[in-house]
Amino acid sequence: MNRQEAIHMDLNATPADEEFRLEVRSFVAQNLPDDIRRKVLGFLRVEREDYVRWQRILAERGWGAPGWPAAFGGCGWDAVRRNIFDDECFAGGAPRQMPFGLSMIAPVLMKFGTPGQQQRFLPRVLTMDDWWCQGYSEPGAGSDLASLKTRAERAGDHYVVTGQKIWTSFAQWANWMFALVRTSSAGKPQQGISLLLIPMDNPGITVRPIKTLDGGFDVNEVFLDQVKVPVENLVGAENEGWTIAKYLLGHERTNIAGLGMCKRLLRRLKELARTQFKHGLPLIDDPRFRDRIVRIEIDVLAQEWALARLISLEHSGQGLGVEPSMLKIRGSEIQGELGELLMECAGAYALPHLHEAMTIDYAGPTAGGIDVNPLAGLYLDLRKVAIYGGTNEIQRGLIGKTVVGL
């Protein structure tokens, strides 16, 4: 199958796919714990144990890795079924499956890892016995990863790693980090980078939280001071980590597109537009506001088909080009627009933001009710989607250079 055939392949659901949709919907309704559902649909804070609990429920059913090949313990689903599964899980109030293990380091290990690394790590990703974090960005080396300075020096059967990582999501919960490190200063900057798997409980590692606008502490600084890492934890060949990094970033940017999240936000937007009033009428009856909902729904639908085509390209054996960057840009924009529309629905009742009200057991006072208070935190949180995984400005530059030669 060539690239054009992959792009134009039939992605419509069959009767068997529709039967599968009902199966997933029923499973989520019956097996997702109620407390997790309440947190997710209410945009409340989801804790580490909530993610782990749901992942293990899926793994026990055999649905722990929708995007993995069956040979590695995954579902082996095509693009249509993966979208169906994602759609129904998000619609049913399930938390997202954490991408750092499942859809970032796992595909890397499948393609570049040794059989020993695959056997050691992949089963523990499925059950979340290991929680992974990503050690890429550094102070002064965010979107420009090639300028990273964290060093790993070979000393017999291990590396000694010294440096600093920043914006490391959920490092406070992680027990493993996959990290880009500099193993050589010769040649171009990209030629001296390697990928290491680093246990987070090793001596010399310090995690310091960074408070974000929504009051959360999901991102962190990670300091590495003479941290010893076994040579067997090197993925691929030494100094060839840049190729692996680019492969991983393609998967990350596809996930940042956040189609399931966009659909969930769109559903909540419609619900609020029917219950929030302006001049005595529901917002949904305001022609201008309704038009904005229609436009954003069209954008979500277009994003869904674009993602399905991208997955089909990958499954056909085609290499991923700049398509993940395109999806990342548009997905982050859609999420931001949906956050703004939700805030407009809630109006002044979404403010002031009370971080304490993000917990499921909060019983204190709120402005306008506990159901709309988390929208301010959501709005603030969605501001960063256009930044992580490579800023949208960087992605546009990449697209311009690759597609039109700018």
Identify the top-confidence range among 83-92, 122-131, 183-192, 340-349: 122-131
**Mean pLDDT score, 336-360:** 82
Give 388 or 336, the one with higher predicted confidence. 336
Confidence band for 370, pLDDT divided at 50, 70 and 90: low
Residue 171, domain member (yes or no): yes
The answer to whether residue 124 sits within a structural domain is no
Q: Does residue 218 sit within a domain?
A: yes
Do 239 and 192 touch, CB atoms closer than 8 A? Answer: yes
- Interval 197-206 mean pLDDT: 98
Which residue blocks in 62-130 are alpha helix, DSSP H?
79-91, 99, 106-112, 115-126
**Same-domain status, 51 and 11:** yes
- Catalytic positions, written as ranges: 252
For residues 304 and 235, the answer to whether their CB atoms sit within 8 Å is no
Of 44, 74, 97, which residue is a domain's last? Answer: 97
Same-domain check for residues 262 and 391 = yes
CATH number of the domain that residue 58 is part of: 1.10.540.10
The token pair that represents 50 in the structure block:
């909530």
How many other C-beta atoms lie within 10 A of the C-beta of residue 342?
24
Residue 234 and residue 282 in one domain: no
Domain check: are 164 and 299 in the same one? no
Q: Which helix (H) or strand (E) holds 230?
A: strand 219-230
Structure tokens at 317: 């054996």
Q: Which of 220, 239, 219, 255 is nearest to 331 (CA)?
A: 255
Across 189-208, average pLDDT: 95
Q: CA 325, CA 192: separation in Å to the nearest integer?
A: 25
Tell me the sheet residues that pair with 205.
224
Point out the domain boundary residue: 240, 271, 295. Answer: 240
The count of domains in the chain is: 3
State the average pLDDT over residues 198-209. Answer: 97
More confident residue, 91 or 394: 91
Say if residue 312's pLDDT is above 60. Answer: yes
Token pair of 128 as six digits = 């979340």
My answer on whether 302 and 395 are in the same domain is: yes
273 lies in the same domain as 362: yes
Q: Is residue 103 part of a domain?
A: no
Residues in Cβ contact with 202 at an 8 Å cutoff, skipping those fewer than 6 apart: 227, 228, 229
Pair 395, 261 in one domain: yes
Domain match, 236 and 261 both: no
Mean pLDDT to the nearest integer, 198-226? 94
Q: In residues, how long is the chain?
A: 406
For residue 394, give the CATH number of its domain.
Answer: 1.20.140.10
Average pLDDT, integer, range 293-317:
81
Residue 242 Cα to chain centre, angstroms: 21
In a domain, 356, yes or no: yes
| CATH value at residue 175 | 2.40.110.10
Asked whether the predicted pLDDT for residue 5 surpasses 50, the reply is no
Same domain, 261 and 400: yes
**Average pLDDT in the chain:** 86
Residues 70 and 144 grouped into a single domain: no
Q: Strands 132-135 and 176-182: what pairing? A: parallel
Cβ atoms within 10 Å, residue 48:
14
**Per-residue model confidence (pLDDT) at position 7:** 47
The DSSP output letter for 103 is I
Per-residue pLDDT tens over the stretch 236-260: 999 999 999 888 876 655 665 678 8
SS (H, E, C) 114-145: CHHHHHHHHHHHHCCCCCEEEECCECCECCCH
**Type of residue found at 323:** E
Give the pLDDT score at 76: 92
pLDDT of residue 82: 86
Top pLDDT among 383 and 278 is at 383
296 and 204 share one domain:
no
Q: pLDDT value at position 332?
A: 87
**DSSP 8-class letter at 238:** T
Which phi and psi angles does 174 have, rounded to 5°? -80, 150
Closest CA to 325 of 384, 250, 244, 261: 250
Amino acid identity for residue 215 in this structure: G
Full domain range(s) for residue 51: 3-97
pLDDT in tens, 8-54: 555 567 899 999 999 999 999 999 999 999 999 988 899 999 999 99
| Type of residue numbered 406 | L
Task: Give domain status of residue 337, yes or no.
Answer: yes
The pTM (predicted TM-score) of the whole model is 0.86
User: Which H, E and C letters describe 25-44, residue by residue?
Assistant: HHHHHHHCCHHHHHHHHCCC
Out of 97, 120, 140, pick the residue that ends a domain: 97
**What is the model's pLDDT at position 297?**
95
Q: Is residue 102 part of a domain?
A: no
Rounded Cα distance, 131 and 331, in Å: 25
Q: What is the DSSP string of 285-318?
A: GSHHHHHHHHHHHHHHHHHHHHHHHHHHHHHTTP
> What number is the average pLDDT over the span 255-277?
84
Question: How far is it, in rounded angstroms, from Cα 290 to Cα 273?
Answer: 9
Q: Do 24 and 77 belong to one domain? A: yes
Q: Of all residues in the chain, what percent carry a pLDDT higher than 70? A: 87
- 110 close to 69: Cβ distance less than 8 angstroms: yes
Higher pLDDT, 325 or 364: 325
Helices then strands, counting H and E runs in the chain, come out as 14, 10
Q: Is residue 111 part of a domain?
A: no
Average pLDDT over residues 51-73: 96
